[in-house]
Amino acid sequence: MRFPLTEAGKIDEIQSQEMLDYALASGVNYFDTAYMYYDNESEFFLGKAMEKHDRASFFLATKLPVWILKDRQDTRKVVEEQLRRLRTDYIDFYLLHTLDRQKWDIVLGKR
């Protein structure tokens, strides 16, 4: 989140890539994104941008968009989609986005 944007409101990939490279070279090692940031483009961009770096050199966080889940089985589909979008085989910190009691019941499989 908080990537520089073009005048059209899209992620400025050149500036954002430079920012990420600089951050990593300067010791930043935690990068946080989410499924729906920047019109669902943040995970795609971050995956592409970080692909050139050693995956063990940083921690990656994203969030399960619990509001799109219809049932517990949807969780696996969404996680697998996020792994593809992020171009990685693991996520270090997986958070639950916009969680409330009703959505928690879905995550637990009570609905």
Structure confidence at residue 1 (pLDDT) = 67
Structure confidence at residue 111 (pLDDT) = 66
Q: Give whole-number Cα distances, 56 to 29, 50, 77, 89, in Å.
A: 10, 11, 25, 12
Structure confidence at residue 48 (pLDDT) = 98
Flag residues of the chain having pLDDT under 50.
none
Give yes or no for a contact between 48 and 90, defined as CB atoms under 8 angstroms apart.
Answer: no
Give yes or no for a contact between 33 and 48, defined as CB atoms under 8 angstroms apart.
Answer: no
> Token pair 């592409």 is at which residue?
48
- CATH says 13-108 is which class? alpha beta
pTM: 0.89
